[in-house]
């Protein structure tokens, strides 16, 4: 009286597609890395120095297999969905509690005012919440944490202590002379020497990490003129300090927008680096810029010159002027030329706010 059990082939019942495998394995590994980052942060808070352990090629490839660009576009659309009035306060209050947002600085403190998460992320501050330092020549363009700063040496820049990336890979090929107001150095010199336009000057860098709870707009760090924009479509891996310590040349892998130009001491650049869920980078005066777009492929870059027949100078920016914004949080990298007596007024790891001094002569 036994009944026969009819079973379908395993392949029909449980089909694994490559995309699903990549999402599952990559997502799981990304979660594991988040846990490792948390443990490192706890050790740092206790004053214990953490040795540098770089990711192997297969680990980087596995992380990059996670469809972070697609997920970030989906997150961006979710952020634009209008929330019911009754739901806004609970949702925003949870975010405020999780990331330590100081709403007393916001121009509008009433949480019901923000129709969606995108508006809340891009909230403006009260006029006097960030006074701009007038004494020092370079100020912080944003709120955030100082990951690293100092002189650029041997065409390598430190993203965090002990982990470097190539200056040329990060900025891309030298911008043509026609797009810059200053003359180009001899082509026989190194890439770093080509950026230094005045004898006796050095090249400096500063890396600022914007956490999700920080003010998401960024401003002009000094008086300068923007002459060129270079957009690198790329990955959108996390840029928190733990990952920056783990993946070499992380900033060269990720999508970024490089603004270059000059200030009174020569070459000056500001780069906005994208990250997971931060596919949207907006530059206020550049309406042609569209980041995290499916039409752009990784491994390429797109140039745009702000110098034209009608505009011989480029885009002038005043210190403290609104420049752009992120959707959530990310990283800003300053690379600029200055005399040898330029001094940073910083400590690695310190918190800084927009308008505070970075350094001066």
- Minimal CA–CA distance to 233: which of 256, 252, 202? 256
Q: Please tell me which residue in 118, 137, 269, 330 is annotated as part of the active site.
A: 330
- Minimal CA–CA distance to 228: which of 166, 320, 315? 315
Q: Please tell me which residue in 143, 214, 262, 286 is annotated as part of the active site.
A: 143
- Minimal CA–CA distance to 69: which of 26, 32, 29? 26
Pairing of strands 224-232, 256-263: antiparallel
SS3 337: strand
Q: Where are the alpha helices (DSSP H) in the chain?
A: 10-13, 18-45, 57-64, 68-79, 85-99, 117-121, 167-171, 191-195, 241-246, 250-253
Q: What is the CA radius of gyration of the chain?
A: 22
* Tally: H helices and E strands in the chain: 10, 17
- Minimal CA–CA distance to 75: which of 14, 15, 118, 32? 118
Tokens of residue 163, six digits: 């982990």
- Kindly give, in sequence order, each residue whose CB lies less than 8 Å from that of residue 98, ignoring residues fewer than 6 positions away: 213
Q: Please tell me which residue in 65, 72, 216, 219 is annotated as part of the active site.
A: 219
For this structure, is 143 an active site residue?
yes
Residue 260 and residue 268 in contact, taking contact as beta carbons nearer than 8 Å? yes
Between CA 349 and CA 352 the distance in angstroms is 9
The catalytic residue positions are 143, 219, 330
């Amino acid at each position: 009286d036994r009944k026969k059990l009819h079973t379908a082939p395993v392949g029909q019942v449980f089909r694994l597609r490559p995309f699903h495998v990549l999402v599952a394995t990559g997502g799981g590994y990304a979660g594991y890395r988040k846990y490792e980052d948390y443990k490192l942060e706890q050790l740092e808070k206790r004053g214990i120095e953490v040795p540098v352990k770089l990711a192997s090629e297969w680990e980087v490839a596995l992380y990059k297999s996670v469809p972070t660009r697609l997920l970030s576009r989906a997150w961006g659309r979710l952020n634009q969905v209008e929330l019911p009035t009754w739901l806004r306060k609970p949702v925003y209050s949870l975010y405020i509690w999780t990331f330590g947002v100081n709403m007393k600085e916001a121009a509008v403190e009433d949480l019901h005012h923000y129709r969606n998460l995108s508006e809340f992320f891009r909230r403006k501050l009260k006029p006097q919440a960030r006074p701009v330092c007038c004494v020092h020549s370079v100020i912080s363009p944003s709120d955030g944490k100082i990951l690293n700063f100092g002189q650029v040496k041997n065409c390598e820049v430190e993203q965090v202590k002990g982990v470097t990336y190539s200056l040329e890979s990060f900025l891309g090929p030298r911008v043509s002379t026609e797009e810059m107001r200053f003359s180009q150095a001899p082509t026989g010199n190194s890439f770093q020497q080509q950026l230094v336009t005045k004898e006796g000057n050095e090249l400096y860098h500063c890396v600022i990490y914007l956490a999700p709870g920080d003010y998401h707009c960024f401003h002009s760090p000094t008086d300068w003129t923007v002459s060129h924009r270079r957009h690198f479509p790329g990955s959108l891996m996390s840029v928190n300090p733990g990952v920056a310590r783990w993946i070499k040349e992380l900033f060269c892998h990720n999508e970024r927008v490089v603004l270059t130009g000059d200030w009174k001491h020569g070459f000056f650049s500001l780069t906005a680096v994208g990250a997971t869920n931060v596919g949207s980078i907006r530059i206020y005066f550049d309406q042609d810029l569209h980041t995290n777009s499916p039409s752009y492929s990784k491994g390429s870059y797109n140039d745009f010159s702000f110098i034209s027949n009608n505009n011989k100078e480029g885009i002038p920016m005043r210190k403290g002027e609104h420049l752009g914004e992120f959707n959530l949080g990310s990283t800003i990298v300053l690379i600029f030329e200055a005399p040898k007596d330029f001094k940073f007024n910083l400590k690695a790891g310190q918190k800084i706010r927009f308008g505070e001094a970075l350094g001066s002569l």
